[in-house]
Amino acid sequence: MGEVNKQAVEQYLENNPQFAKEYFDKKLKPETIGALFNDRKVEVKDGASFKDLCKLEESDIVFEMMVEMQDTNDIDKQMHKVVQRIVTLVNADRGSMFIMRSRNGIPELATRLFDVTRNSELQANLVAPESEIVFPYDIGLVGWTAHTRKVQNIADVKKDSHFSDFVDKQTAYTTSNILAAPILLGKEVLAVFMLVNKIDEPHFSKLDQEVFAKYLNFASLGLKYSHLNYLYNVESRRTQVLLWSANKVFEELTDIERQFHKALYTVRIYLNVERYSVALLDMTKQKEFFDEWPILMGEAEPYKGPKTPDGREIIFYKIIDYLLVGKEEIKVIPSPPADHWSLVSGLPTYVAENGFKGPVDETGWVIKNVLSLPIVNKKEEIVGIATFYNRKDGKPFDEHDEQIIEGLTQFLGWSVLNTDAYDKMNKLENRRDIAAEMLMYHSKCSNKELQTILKTKEKINKEIEDCEQNEMIKILKEELPDPKVVDLYEFHFSDIPVSEFDLIKCGIKCFFEINAVQKFKVPPEVLTRWMYTIRKGYRDITYHNWRHGFNVGQTMFTLLMTGKIKKYYTDLEAFAMVAAAFCHDIDHRGTNNLYQMKSAAPLAKLHGSSIMERHHLEYSKTLLQDESINIFQNLNKRQFETVMHLMEVAIIATDLALYFKKRTMFKKIVDHIEQTQNEEEAIKYISCDPTKKEIVMAMMMTGCDLSAITKPWEVQSKVALMVANEFWEQGDLERTVLEQQPIPMMDRNKAAELPKLQCGFIDFVCTFVYKEFSRFHKEITPMLDGLLNNRVHWKSLADEYEEKMKAIEEKKKQEEEAATKGNGDEGGKSKTCAIV
Ligand SMILES: [Zn+2]
């Protein structure tokens, strides 16, 4: 046949397209496609016609392909083979595959297989998500191919306006010519395949283009299958997420956090991420008074940070972390620090402020990609931020993840509203329980009881209703003790010689002494009933009983009168302060706030913080709703509101947890007072500023509440034992009910450490209070003296105990030493013997 040159063959094929088509159809199908999906050599058996063989091979290939496609994870492997075959067939230098995706609604193309040559390994060509090259839809020939949805055969890229040398510059490669084609699913572009630089030829031919197109049909089948599978997977994940959440919300309603936690924990397997966190936002719009103080005092800058769209300061009060890689772990972080890993990126704050959503590429240590979404309730308020980190397959989050997670966060938002309603209901329920409890335990002062103090029947043979106010005041006053006799004005007052019943009278006396009865027209029978009812409101427990309540009221009275603090306050304010002090621990159960939380008491569900204090306040306010015991009944509306506010501040302030918040502010006020030239100036400095008045009052409440520590040693040593006993009783409860080991202070097995604990309490808590008050007003110095005196006593007891312990220790050591020494001597002896 002679020499056939390449050019002549090409010429012939060009001129006889029908022949060329038939030839390549036959040739391509069995031999090359077969080798695409398996590495077997196609064996041609004798006797089989070429046509039969084609059919056999084709069905074989399709079957093989379907088998491979069952496992969509192998799509990269399949596509690698396809690209490699095409590169070989058309004699391209290399080929690549780009995957189309959309993030934040913006389409982009990302390298999946890069620089595939005829014999390169899949591992070398598969692009890891962190090193992928991403093309915007409108840049480069890849983007253009996707955009036009047409095959692009570019003979010289330098002459093409769409070409971008961005990748060449990155990879130090020179692209001369390109053959690129899109893979379509309907109108949607799934991927772009690209061949670069025809070997030994100036560019890809028309024929190359056809071969390329033909093979891409197979590639597209695989890609479509994989894509549909992914979509199906997304869809099923989405429905599962929603189905589950719906079930749980209505099946078991709990508080918000548990709601979030349960929902998020259960959907974790569908989320397909390495870890995620939910940061819950503080929903309170109004700050607590004690948090306002530093700002009003100029101690702290007013909040200037970001706010939620509805005007709340962005405070994440709790974070729930879900770590799903390695050992699964869930961490709940209350009051997370600003540098907590999930907040440090600033993303949750940003999302809380702007409602922004979407993936963000982070350059930080392990965070490869982040998807952060606000959880919004139906009132359009952002209640929390859900942030998802690192898709497990290493790929970036895409629009489907956004949809899934958006569905979830929306659902969580709605469930918040449900739980809001539930919470309200629950709170009502708790309130009802507590109210019932209150009614059961306490009973109002009866008329008979009233007559034991306000003896109208005995003295003038009249029922209360038939008496004139002045008559009753006269009768009542006759019953009240002489302040001098009971030391009512003294800091060293002791309740021990006074009966609980007589303490009621002492309490009533205080209100006469501050002139409240006369000035605010408190009906004497109402005052008596109120004081009696307060006494009955205190439970018969070891320490936080009526005696303690009375002592705090008496100390408040003494601080105002003897301590001369009254001059900063109006009569109305003093009235409120003394009343608040008497009520401040009403209905105490002998256990502290922590115990309420740990034992999940109804009170803990009702109040988030200062649990017991809020209860004492609520209780006191409830009593005032009964007009027959409402000592403030003759106040006007504004006066009544003032009293209610002061009672709230005063009673909540007895939570020792808040003591540390007000310390420095109080010290500053005292510093200033020490510098003032005259009394007038000092009065002006405090009484003209409601905030300073509140701070001083709050510290007075602490001073009153702890006043037992300042009493004469005979009193203090007894009271300290009562306090300790109540603590030990709680410790017993913790052991038996909660099955927990109590802290040393509450552990009766460590009772001997009481003196040491008292010294610590004096040094770290009490000394500051009474030192500052003595500095504030020298009239209050007796309290500090009392405290320091008790410190000496406790210290010597503590030393004594320590000495004793030391002696025991020493003795033990000596005994041990004696024992070992004895052994050593013997050993020495025998040794000597042995040597000799
Ligand atoms: Zn108290």
- The confidence score (pLDDT) of residue 397 equals 76
Name the strand (E) or helix (H) holding 108.
Answer: strand 106-116
Tokens at 111, concatenated: 């390298």
Q: Which of 116-130, 345-359, 646-660 shows the lowest mean pLDDT across its residues?
A: 345-359
**481-528 confidence digits (pLDDT tens):** 999 999 999 999 999 999 999 999 999 999 999 999 999 999 999 999
142 contact partners, CB below 8 Å, separation of at least 6: 98, 109, 135, 180, 192, 194
- The confidence score (pLDDT) of residue 836 equals 32
**582-594 confidence digits (pLDDT tens):** 999 998 988 888 8
Higher-pLDDT residue of 338 and 361 is 338
Higher-pLDDT residue of 696 and 140 is 696
Q: How many CB atoms lie within 10 A of CB 397?
A: 24
Centroid of ligand 1 to alpha carbon of 740 (angstroms): 25
- The confidence score (pLDDT) of residue 18 equals 66
Centroid of ligand 1 to alpha carbon of 668 (angstroms): 25
* Residues 335, 601: Cα–Cα separation, whole Å: 22
Q: Give the type of residue at 173.
A: Y
Residue 115 pLDDT exceeds 70: yes
Which letter does DSSP use for residue 744 in this model? Answer: G
- The confidence score (pLDDT) of residue 41 equals 43
Q: Could you tell me if 137 and 143 are in contact, meaning their C-beta atoms sit under 8 angstroms apart?
A: yes
Q: Could you tell me if 673 and 686 are in contact, meaning their C-beta atoms sit under 8 angstroms apart?
A: yes
**Closest CA relative to residue 508, chosen from 467, 450, 466:** 450
Mean predicted lDDT score pLDDT of the chain: 79
Give the Å distances, CA to CA, from 348 to 276, 362, 391, 832: 12, 13, 18, 78
* Residues 271, 240: Cα–Cα separation, whole Å: 11
**How deeply is 711 buried, as exposed, middle or buried, from its count of CB atoms within 10 A (0-12, 13-18, 19+)?**
buried
Domains of the chain: 55-230 (3.30.450.40), 252-285+307-358+369-424 (3.30.450.40), 480-794 (1.10.1300.10)
Centroid of ligand 1 to alpha carbon of 636 (angstroms): 30
Q: What is the mean pLDDT of residues 409-433?
A: 55
Which letter does DSSP use for residue 499 in this model? Answer: -
- The confidence score (pLDDT) of residue 631 equals 96
**9-36 confidence digits (pLDDT tens):** 777 777 776 676 666 655 555 555 555 4
- The confidence score (pLDDT) of residue 189 equals 85
- The confidence score (pLDDT) of residue 523 equals 95
Q: C-alpha angle 471/475/480, rounded to 5°?
A: 145
- The confidence score (pLDDT) of residue 756 equals 92
Q: Could you tell me if 345 and 359 are in contact, meaning their C-beta atoms sit under 8 angstroms apart?
A: no
Residues facing residue 373 across a β-bridge: 386
Centroid of ligand 1 to alpha carbon of 434 (angstroms): 20
Which residue in this structure is represented by tokens 């595939």? 116
Confidence at 73, pLDDT banded by 50, 70, 90: low
Centroid of ligand 1 to alpha carbon of 655 (angstroms): 9
Centroid of ligand 1 to alpha carbon of 670 (angstroms): 24
Q: What is the mean pLDDT of residues 453-478?
A: 92
* Residues 204, 7: Cα–Cα separation, whole Å: 15
Tokens at 457, concatenated: 């029947």
Q: What is the mean pLDDT of residues 672-698?
A: 92
Centroid of ligand 1 to alpha carbon of 589 (angstroms): 12
Residue 146 pLDDT exceeds 70: yes
Which letter does DSSP use for residue 131 in this model? Answer: G
Residue 777 labeled ligand binder: no
Confidence at 654, pLDDT banded by 50, 70, 90: very high
- The confidence score (pLDDT) of residue 458 equals 92
- The confidence score (pLDDT) of residue 107 equals 80
**373-385 confidence digits (pLDDT tens):** 777 766 677 777 8
Residue 547 labeled ligand binder: yes
Residue 144 labeled ligand binder: no
Q: Could you tell me if 261 and 430 are in contact, meaning their C-beta atoms sit under 8 angstroms apart?
A: no
Q: What is the mean pLDDT of residues 598-615?
A: 75
Residue 827 pLDDT exceeds 50: no
Confidence at 619, pLDDT banded by 50, 70, 90: confident
At residue 363, the 3 state secondary structure works out as coil
Centroid of ligand 1 to alpha carbon of 785 (angstroms): 22
Residue 319 pLDDT exceeds 80: no
Q: What is the mean pLDDT of residues 475-483?
A: 94
Tokens at 738, concatenated: 């909660």
Q: Could you tell me if 639 and 471 are in contact, meaning their C-beta atoms sit under 8 angstroms apart?
A: no
Which letter does DSSP use for residue 120 in this model? Answer: -
Centroid of ligand 1 to alpha carbon of 704 (angstroms): 8
- The confidence score (pLDDT) of residue 245 equals 44
Set 544, 588, 615, 616: catalytic member? 544
Higher-pLDDT residue of 625 and 585 is 585
Helices (H), 522-636: 524-537, 546-561, 571-583, 593-598, 602-606, 611-624
Q: How many CB atoms lie within 10 A of CB 348?
A: 27
Of 79-93, 398-412, 598-612, 721-735, give the range with the top mean pLDDT. 721-735
340 is catalytic: no
Residue 545 labeled ligand binder: yes
Confidence at 834, pLDDT banded by 50, 70, 90: very low
Centroid of ligand 1 to alpha carbon of 797 (angstroms): 26
Task: Write the secondary structure of 442-496 as one string of H (helix), E (strand) and C (coil).
Answer: CCCCCHHHHHHHCCHHHHHCCCHHHCCHHHHHHHHHHHCCCHHHHCCCCCCCCCC
Centroid of ligand 1 to alpha carbon of 549 (angstroms): 6
Q: Give the type of residue at 598.
A: K
- The confidence score (pLDDT) of residue 364 equals 38
Centroid of ligand 1 to alpha carbon of 506 (angstroms): 18
Name the strand (E) or helix (H) holding 722.
Answer: helix 713-736
Higher-pLDDT residue of 142 and 477 is 477
**205-255 confidence digits (pLDDT tens):** 888 888 788 777 777 777 777 776 666 666 555 555 544 444 433 333 345
* Residues 358, 794: Cα–Cα separation, whole Å: 62
* Residues 196, 180: Cα–Cα separation, whole Å: 8
pTM: 0.59
* Residues 673, 675: Cα–Cα separation, whole Å: 5
Residues facing residue 97 across a β-bridge: 113, 193
Residue 688 pLDDT exceeds 70: yes
**Closest CA relative to residue 676, chosen from 777, 536, 790:** 777
Residue 758 labeled ligand binder: yes
- The confidence score (pLDDT) of residue 66 equals 56
Residue 377 labeled ligand binder: no
Residue 585 labeled ligand binder: yes
Centroid of ligand 1 to alpha carbon of 581 (angstroms): 9
- The confidence score (pLDDT) of residue 829 equals 41
Higher-pLDDT residue of 83 and 439 is 83
- The confidence score (pLDDT) of residue 531 equals 96
Confidence at 83, pLDDT banded by 50, 70, 90: confident
The rounded percent of the chain whose pLDDT value lies above 90 is 34
Q: What is the mean pLDDT of residues 305-318?
A: 77
* Residues 587, 545: Cα–Cα separation, whole Å: 8
The rounded percent of the chain whose pLDDT value lies above 70 is 74
Confidence at 139, pLDDT banded by 50, 70, 90: confident
Residue 271 pLDDT exceeds 70: no
